[in-house]
Amino acid sequence: MTVTTADVGFRSERGPILIALMLTTGLVAIDSTILATAVPSVVKDLGGLTSFPWLFSIYLLAQAVSVPIYAKLADTVGRKPIILFGIALFFAGSVLCGFAWSMPALIAFRALQGLGAGAVQPMAITIAGDIYTLAERAKVQGYLASVWAISSVVGPTLGGLFSQFVSWRWIFFVNIPLCLIAAWMIARTFHENIERTRHRVDYVGSVLLTAALTVFIVAVLEGGQAWPWTAPVSICAFALGALLLLAFVLAERRAAEPVLPLWVLSRRLLLTTTLISVGVGAALLGLTSYVPTFLEGVSHVSPIASGLALASLAIGWPIAASQSGRLYLRIGFRSTVLIGMVVALAGAVALAVVVYTPSLWLTAVSCFVVGLGMGLVATPSLIAAQTSVSWSERGVVTGTNLFARSMGSAVGVAIFGAIGNSHLAGGSGAGATALADPASLQAATAAVFLAVVVVLVATVAAGVAMPRVVTEFETDPAAPGKMVA
């Protein structure tokens, strides 16, 4: 099917698919923010105050470890079965979360939600890469990015409203109609031309990758919190994760159809864009974790005001992402990414300076600048990676990119948390009351923002290493995966 840039939009032939992709993306985006404001109500009802951080960690863990597996399966059986399976898992997890009777049960059901999200988000982006041309893709990715911007405001608001006026359980029940509508639209409007052939599923590789990443992420998330970094359990966890990862690499070298082909990290473009994605994930989590705490603890603004300041980051992202196509089609992917990195770095430096003269508006503007920069980095680097490969490799490449971002976020949570906690303890001398000390919190935030600057500088180096020219892979119109009427 031959299409032009004029076909892009909600009223075009592919419009219903775009709406369905935005809706499925919205499921994951809203769910990542809606629970935060409802945590006090959940703890009051179910108990488990010390366990509630796992509501977020287990979701991130399940999503991260499942992305590479879904991505490989999508390149063998097609995108449609995988995204529908992901929506079904997310649906089941949402229903069970709504009826959870204890904190351990809710944590387990959140893991099921994460397994669904691990299929939904990368498949939505991959399908967009399949059915839209290079010239169209930036605008479409801008639409998808806008979903995250809207969700960053709508999610916490809905979570607060449900927990205050109805019940926290409705933050999960609201997913039920959304899942049904999204699945119906995908099933009805999106059709693939798939060559049905026998495939050998890499069960050994899947199990080893899941086990290795699970051990690593748990070690990173719990290190410095549940146990000291130098404790025997911490050392053993990292050692076990390294051994499992080595076993995974050896298994992938022998697998007929590896779940995560090693060639993904052997190509210069794919390696550099993957490293960029790691940096983006880490920087975003550093800012997301500390901007609201800094504003509320040091500037003494309301939670709503601090949330809106942080939302400016999510607003700047889709604005830049939707316009990035005009840049990379003229000056190339590498130059666009470098411009975005410079802008994001300038915003991060501004945040590190603003810490010493707290201001709500300056913080919001700085976050907005960071968002603008990220929009010129994340979307073009992903599209560059997608553009360089065929349909049969695009799922793995997209999944690897998003997996790297999730891993960057998970590692960022631990590293920035350790940096912040060390300054909180040093500033007050009392860990339990450190957060109430504005001076200690200010020092901790300054250290974290400085660490974010360092991460972005390293990400700039990855951008510099990107190839200057990206060769677009032209797919035959009759090739598998092309959308059919």
CB 434 within 8 A of CB 297: no
Closest listed residue to residue 333, CA positions, set 467, 136, 141: 467
- Look at residue 227 and give its three-state secondary structure: strand
Q: How far apart are CA 451 and CA 448, in angstroms?
A: 5
Closest listed residue to residue 237, CA positions, set 210, 260, 211: 211
Total-model pTM: 0.75
Q: How far apart are CA 302 and CA 320, in angstroms?
A: 28
Residue 479 confidence class, pLDDT cut points 50, 70, 90: very low
Instruction: Tell me the average pLDDT of the chain.
Output: 79
pLDDT in tens, 263-284: 877 888 889 999 999 999 888 8
Question: CA dist 347 to 12, 21, 305, 354, Å?
Answer: 37, 31, 19, 10
Q: Which range, of 131-135, 205-209, 279-283, averages the lowest pLDDT?
A: 131-135
Residue 5 confidence class, pLDDT cut points 50, 70, 90: very low
Q: Which range, of 96-110, 145-159, 443-457, averages the lowest pLDDT?
A: 145-159
* Residue 204, amino acid: V
CB 182 within 8 A of CB 27: yes
Among 230-239, 404-413, 474-483, top mean pLDDT goes to 230-239
Domains defined along the chain, listed by start: 1-196 (1.20.1250.20), 203-255 (no CATH), 264-485 (1.20.1250.20)
Whether residue 382 is predicted with pLDDT greater than 80 in this model: the reply is yes
DSSP 423-460: HHHHHHS-TTTGGG-HHHHHHHHHHHHHHHHHHHHHHH
Whether residue 257 is predicted with pLDDT greater than 90 in this model: the reply is no
* Residue 244, amino acid: L
Query: What are the start-end ranges of the H helices in 356-390?
Result: 360-375, 378-387
Q: What is the pLDDT of residue 341?
A: 95
Question: How is residue 476 annotated by DSSP?
Answer: P
Closest listed residue to residue 127, CA positions, set 378, 472, 386: 386
Q: What is the pLDDT of residue 412?
A: 76
Select the more confidently predicted residue: 90 or 25: 90
Give the pair of three-digit tokens for residue 8. Answer: 């892009």
Whether residue 225 is predicted with pLDDT greater than 70 in this model: the reply is no
Whether residue 478 is predicted with pLDDT greater than 60 in this model: the reply is no
Give the pair of three-digit tokens for residue 13. Answer: 């032939």
Q: What is the pLDDT of residue 97?
A: 92
Residue 485 confidence class, pLDDT cut points 50, 70, 90: very low
Whether residue 186 is predicted with pLDDT greater than 50 in this model: the reply is yes
Burial pattern 39-51, b for ≥16 Cβ within 10 A else e, equals bebbbebbeeeee
The residue-averaged pLDDT of 376-396 equals: 83
Residue 369 CB: number of other CB atoms within 10 A?
Answer: 22
Angle (CA) 370-118-308 rounded to 5° is: 30
Q: What is the pLDDT of residue 4?
A: 43
pLDDT in tens, 425-439: 544 433 333 444 777
